[in-house]
């Protein structure tokens, strides 16, 4: 008898799990693609799929306008996993843009034909294997015109060979220059673009600040990831010409509990610590450093430009920490003639209204990447086949994006330069009373 009860309990539990999983389905009637892998069961993610033309509410536009094919943009941020604090705002930005595109009925092509735009949202779980399988699915099964993915450098590097082979344009939201240019040969990757500011630009700002403070000997701690390793490499490139010596460099695990690096920092005699990490690792290591060395200045990179970084270590510990960040963090203090100001203010208003949370740089990277994709598909003439559409998007990105104000900076893409955001796209900020404030050079 107990055996039957046991069977019943197990069946009920499985049924409950299935019901809970299906209960997460979107309110829209169309079938949303499920991004899960075949091996371990990651939880199903909400995917938003705007209605296809046949199910759309009546168009608010005049009836002479033709409705063309639906353009699909494959969007895969890292909604879960260690990169989630960066990927979640990107995800929310994607959902916000998706809603806006639905409301306006898509984009109008150069021949006056209206095309609905679908943003297919997947989760890479900050796992390169999952990212690769998700991107493959986007390309081969969903037949997207352009891929926007890769919250972190590691994920983006894993995606690059896939999109190169498939000859589909790819816009990454991560920061390493290696994503768009092969570091060994210096050849620009034909199909890859990125929207996050470069780690080298971040290192240049750090060098500038350190020089202004008179520090010549620094320690560099980086997290054990593609991003962390790149911050170290770029720091070496930027610090050497400025006469700053890295006397101690080491890495740490994102999930570490103890930080033996601190002992070495103490004995190395450095005057400041430069940290290359993203939250929560950046917060953990900062706490460890502050406990042991309360007066040692800490300079972070632009991977920390969100509120999580401050909240996870507490305002008291974070007080006084500086980093280079995108202008979106301090948009209200910018001068009115700044070319990005209008775009920034609009984004800040939209984002805070949509999510109820403060903005951060990473949502901005997502917005730039998606808007570049949307602008590119809007430029597509009618009647091209999929391969030609993908090539046309790539050509547009290389030639049609000039003085384009985005959230992360002003873009000037070209065949030789697939990201174009440099030193000027960042600004310097400081933590004061638990929030980011603008920290202009005259106050250093």
CA angle at residue 38 from 33 to 42, to 5 degrees? Answer: 75
- Minimum distance from residue 293 beta carbon to another protein (Å): 9
Q: Centre a 10 Å sphere on the Cβ of residue 124 and count the other Cβ atoms it contains.
A: 30
Can you give the binding site for another protein, defined by CB under 8 A?
A: 6, 9-10, 13, 20, 40-43, 79-82, 84-85, 88, 224, 248, 250-253, 255-264, 266-268, 279-280, 283-284, 291-292, 308, 311-314, 316-317
Nearest residue (CB) to another protein, 164 versus 268: 268
- Minimum distance from residue 319 beta carbon to another protein (Å): 11
| Residues whose CB is less than 8 angstroms from the CB of residue 209 and which lie 6 or more positions away in sequence, other chains included | 299, 322, 428, 444
- Minimum distance from residue 134 beta carbon to another protein (Å): 16
Q: Which pairs with CB-CB distance under 8 Å and at least 24 residues apart come from 390-395?
A: 390/145, 390/146, 390/167, 390/168, 390/169, 391/167, 393/145, 393/146, 393/169, 394/169, 394/190, 394/191
* Residues forming beta bridges with residue 193, ordered by sequence position: 171
Nearest residue (CB) to another protein, 102 versus 151: 151
* Residues forming beta bridges with residue 218, ordered by sequence position: 246, 272
Nearest residue (CB) to another protein, 87 versus 106: 87
Nearest residue (CB) to another protein, 243 versus 260: 260
- Minimum distance from residue 17 beta carbon to another protein (Å): 8
- Minimum distance from residue 125 beta carbon to another protein (Å): 9
Nearest residue (CB) to another protein, 191 versus 259: 259
- Minimum distance from residue 277 beta carbon to another protein (Å): 12
Nearest residue (CB) to another protein, 3 versus 63: 3
- Minimum distance from residue 226 beta carbon to another protein (Å): 14
Nearest residue (CB) to another protein, 182 versus 253: 253
Nearest residue (CB) to another protein, 79 versus 298: 79
- Minimum distance from residue 7 beta carbon to another protein (Å): 9
- Minimum distance from residue 261 beta carbon to another protein (Å): 4
- Cis status of the peptide bond prior to 305, with omega within 30 of 0: no
- At residue 306, φ and ψ (nearest 5 deg) are -145, 170
- Minimum distance from residue 91 beta carbon to another protein (Å): 10
- At residue 437, φ and ψ (nearest 5 deg) are -130, 155
Nearest residue (CB) to another protein, 255 versus 333: 255
- Minimum distance from residue 368 beta carbon to another protein (Å): 23
Nearest residue (CB) to another protein, 201 versus 318: 318
Nearest residue (CB) to another protein, 183 versus 434: 434
């Amino acid at each position: 008898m107990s055996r039957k009860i046991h069977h019943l309990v197990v069946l009920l539990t499985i049924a409950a799990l299935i019901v809970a999983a299906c209960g997460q389905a979107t309110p829209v009637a169309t079938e949303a693609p499920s991004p899960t892998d075949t091996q371990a069961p990651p939880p199903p993610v909400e995917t938003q799929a705007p209605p296809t033309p046949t199910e759309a509410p009546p168009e608010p536009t005049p009836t002479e306008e033709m409705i063309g094919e639906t353009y699909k943009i494959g969007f895969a941020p890292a909604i879960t996993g260690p990169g989630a604090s960066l990927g979640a705002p990107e995800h929310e930005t994607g959902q916000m843009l998706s809603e806006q595109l639905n409301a306006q009925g898509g984009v109008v092509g150069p021949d006056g034909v209206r095309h609905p735009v679908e943003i297919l949202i997947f989760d890479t779980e900050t796992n390169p294997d999952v990212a690769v399988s998700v991107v493959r699915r986007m390309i081969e099964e969903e037949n997207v015109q352009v891929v926007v993915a890769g919250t972190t450098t590691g994920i983006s590097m894993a995606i690059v060979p896939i999109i190169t082979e498939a000859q589909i344009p790819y816009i990454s939201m991560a920061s390493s220059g290696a994503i768009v240019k092969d570091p060994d040969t210096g050849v620009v990757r034909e199909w890859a673009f990125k929207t996050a500011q470069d780690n080298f630009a971040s290192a240049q700002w750090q060098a500038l600040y350190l020089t202004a403070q008179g520090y010549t000997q620094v320690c560099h701690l980086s997290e054990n990831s593609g991003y962390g390793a790149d911050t170290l490499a770029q720091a070496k490139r930027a610090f050497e010409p400025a006469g700053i010596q890295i006397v101690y460099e080491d890495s740490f695990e994102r999930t570490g509990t103890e930080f033996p690096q601190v002992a070495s920092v103490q004995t190395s005699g450095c005057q400041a610590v430069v940290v290359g990490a993203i939250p929560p690792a950046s917060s953990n290591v900062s706490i460890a450093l502050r406990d042991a060395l309360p007066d040692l200045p800490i300079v972070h990179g632009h991977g920390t430009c969100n509120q999580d970084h401050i909240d996870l270590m507490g305002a008291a510990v974070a007080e006084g920490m500086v980093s280079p960040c995108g202008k979106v963090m301090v948009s209200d203090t910018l001068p009115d003639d700044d070319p990005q100001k209008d775009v920034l203010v609009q984004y800040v208003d939209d984002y805070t209204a949509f999510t109820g949370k403060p903005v951060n740089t990473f949502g901005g990277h997502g917005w730039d990447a998606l808007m570049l994709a949307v602008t590119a598909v809007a430029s597509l003439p009618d009647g091209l086949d999929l391969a030609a559409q993908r090539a046309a998007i790539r050509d547009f990105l290389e030639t049609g994006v000039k003085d384009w104000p985005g959230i992360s900076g002003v873009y000037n893409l070209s065949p030789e330069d697939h990201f174009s955001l440099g030193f000027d796209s960042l600004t310097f900020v400081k933590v004061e009373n638990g929030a980011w404030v603008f920290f202009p050079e005259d106050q250093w």
